[in-house]
Structures are given as C-alpha cells and as structure tokens.
Amino acid sequence: MTDDIVASVVRQWQAVDPALDTGPMELIGRINRCAALLQQAEDAPLRAAGLNRAEFDLLGAMRRTGRELTPGELARETFSSGAAVTKRLRVLQDAGLIARRGDARDRRVVHVGLTGAGRELVDRLLPEQLAYERSVLSGLDEEARSALSGQLGALLVQLEGRLGGGRR
C-alpha cells in the first residue's frame, strides 16, 4: 500500500522528535486532506448545472423540509452564516430557482421557497449527485463505508457537543 501525504508528514515529524505523539495529526490531517480533495472535485453534476455545493445545500434544505424557510432557518440548516445565505439566495433568485415572500404579520421577515424550476432541478440533480458521490467512494466496500460513516458520526457528535457546532 502506498503512503498518503499525511504518513509522509508524520514520518518527518517523528524524525525531528521520535517522542512526539502524532496520533491526532494522523487522524485530523487525513480528515482535513479528504475534505480538501472532495471540495476540489467540486461536485461535477452540480457544476454542470451551474451550481456550487453551498447553493445546492440551500435548495436541498427547502426541498427536504417541504416548506418555506426564513434565511435564518436556512443558515441553521446549512451551517452557514447569514451573510453567505443572503448572497446565495440572491444568486438562486436571479436564476429563477427560489422565490421570496414577505411575512403578512412582520414585514421584517422573509420566507423563501422553491419555484417549480427549483424543485425540478433538485429532484433531477440529487440522484445524479448521489451517484457521483458513490463513484467517489467506490474504492471502499460497503462494510468499510459503513464503518467509516459510523466512526465519523461518533466523532461529529463528540465535536458538536464539545465545540458547540451542533444543531439546535
């Protein structure tokens, strides 16, 4: 088996200081490197549709909840800042994929929902995106994917509790 870049970095640190515990670096370094490579791949089906992952996440949040959401709710659903959501919503509205509606009781509140074109796009793209993601993970068999998913889920629960990144 060929070493990954993290193994090379760890060997270098161990040569500098053999007593150094590089265990955390090995795990977090690999998680960060995987995340960076996955982001570089930039989700081919989404890119072909003129979207990025963050924009698709907003559309997906509206589709999976099945209702209009406020920009604040969308920020929480997608773990994004309010400013980032506002910018992305403008792009999606200009593309005709979402519509905004003012609240009848509070003019400061805006509700955002999918247009017909937005719903159709999500329904068409999601299976393509999942197939793309499946191909990215094809080097791992089902057992390995399941084990990795469970381990990452346990880490995520721990980090969300400790670092305050959890949902609601």
Amino acid identity, residue 67? Answer: R
Residue 108 exposure: Cα atoms within 13 Å on the Cβ side:
1
Cα 15 from Cα 13, distance rounded (Å): 5
Joined together, the tokens standing for residue 95 give 């593309």
Amino acid identity, residue 55? Answer: E
pLDDT for 164 equals: 66
pLDDT for 107 equals: 84
pLDDT for 15 equals: 96
pLDDT for 168 equals: 43
Do 89 and 98 form a contact (C-beta atoms < 8 A)? yes
Instruction: Kindly list the averaged pLDDT for each block of 10 residues, start to end, along the chain of length 168.
Output: 87 95 94 87 83 94 95 93 95 97 87 97 94 90 96 92 63
